[in-house]
Every structure is written in C-alpha cells, then in structure tokens.
Structure 1
C-alpha cells in the first residue's frame, strides 16, 4: 500500500467545499480519487483537540455542517495542514491518514452520524 500514499493531485473545490485527493495505485492500475467534504475532514481531524490522546478521549464534533476549508498549507512532502472557518487549524493530515479517510469514508461517516444520534446532537449549530 505504500505506493499509494503519495498523492498525485489535490484540489479544493471551494463551491462544494470538497477536497479531492488522488493517489496513484499500482495495485489496481487506476488512480484512486477520493472526494472528502470539509465537514468530514473537520470532524475527523487528527488533532489531539479532536482525537484526544486515546480513543476514549476523542471529542464528538457537533455543529460542523457549514464549516469551510479556508486555507491549505503543505507540510513538507508528507502532509497538509487544513485551516477551517471555525478557527480549527491543528492536526496534520498525513498522506496515509488522508488515504485512510478516503478508503473508510462511508463507514466512518455512518459511525459519526450514529454517534451524533446516540447523544442527541446535530450536525447543525444550535
């Protein structure tokens, strides 16, 4: 899988607030393209502020439906720093982490929605 971890294209679609990231895949022969919404990237931020220092410390993010990516900063040749309209700007989105978010997007999104439902929280600001 390591050959997939260097993106060959990264585009922020500002209108739809979707980060499109493409990884070359020598396994399947075709590039793997993931379309990751800003809200999804924000609620799964790799920062300690969101993830905590262990799974038990993770903080459920609520009210992020309208969040936007306001800037993207490359970090060396291994990650992106995403800056969001709600002021969140910590956490480095490494290539392996972005690949994992893309690869597991459907399952992670469903898990997020179920966690919101369990605690009676919303994707919208209250």
Structure 2
C-alpha cells in the first residue's frame, strides 16, 4: 500500500458517482480524478488482491459492474471502500488514490496485458476461492 508522503497532495473533495461508477477525487494541488470503481477494485491494496509479496497477486476479473456500497474514512489519511461483490479489506491512502488517478491509462494497459498473458477475459467470473488463501483475512 502506498504510504503518506510528506507534502503530498491531499483530497479536498471525494464524491461517489453511483450511476457512472466512478469515485471523483479533487486534490489540494488542483488535480481532479474520476477513478472507475472497477479500477479501484482490481488494484485493491488488500492482501486478498496483492498477496503478501511479489508474484502473489491475484488477477481480478468480473469486476466491470462492481459498485461502491459504502466509503468509510480511515483517520485523516485514507478511505476504505466496501464493494458490491463483498470486498472490503482494502485501505486506500491519499497517495494511492492519487496514483490510481494519475496513472489510470497505464494501469488499464497493465491490466489488459495481465489478462492477455493469463488468457482470461476481463468479464470472466472469479473462480470460487479466488483469493490468495490467507486464513488471516
């Protein structure tokens, strides 16, 4: 998970747009991002998605129509989304939200590459037990 960097931009506004499935975040440096819920979900910083180390990432699929059910504040440094597919273990720091917004095109391209390499369709359902198998989550 991206940490909080000293002097890094912080959110001035966060708006959930349910119909268009985007999280709009306006930052203190003037940047404004509309981050799709699907992108938030497939790049969740949780161990369930990222694993516990390099090479343990779990490729997320079938998340195109995921919604945000809730968005909980975490201190003064992050938010914790609750997604319609039940995923709720990712904590998104301000730095991570900024990265997801500013690198959206690169992240979509990397996701498309991972899907192609795995021979999996973006809309394929996740296999049952599709987590990383960590009993602590």
Tell me if both proteins adopt one fold, taking TM over 0.5 as the criterion.
yes
1:38 aligns with 2:37: yes
1:51–1:104 distance in 2 versus 1, CA, 3 Å? same
More helix, by proportion: 1
Moved more, 44-53 or 113-122: 113-122
Structure 2: tracts of 5 or more residues without a match: 126-137
Question: Offset at 1:125?
Answer: 3.8
Q: State whether residues 46 and 93 of structure 1, in contact with CA within 8 Å, keep that contact through their aligned partners in structure 2.
A: yes
Cα deviation 1:5-26 (Å, max 9, x = unaligned): 310010011100100001111x
TM-score (norm 1): 0.90
Distance 1:59 1:44 in 2: 10
- Report the counterpart of residue 14 of structure 2 in structure 1: 10
**Structure 1 residue 21 corresponds to structure 2 residue 25:** yes
Query: Does the 8 Å contact 1:4/1:23 carry over to 2?
Result: no
Bigger drift between 77-86 and 111-120 goes to 111-120
What's the counterpart of residue 71 of structure 1? 70
Take 1:16 and 1:35, find their aligned partners in 2: how far apart are those partners?
10
Matches for 1:39-118 after TM superposition, within 5 Å: 39-118=38-117
Question: Highest relative contact order (Cα 8 Å, sep 6+), 1 or 2?
Answer: 2
Offset of residue 122 of structure 1? 1.8
* Backbone CA RMSD of aligned residues: 1.3
CA distance in 1, matches of 2:13, 2:59: 30
TM-score (norm. length: structure 2): 0.83
Task: Give unmatched runs, 5+ long, in structure 1.
Answer: 26-30
Runs of 4 or more above 2 Å deviation = 1-5
Q: In structure 1, how many angstroms separate the alpha carbons of the residues matched to 2:84 and 2:54?
A: 26
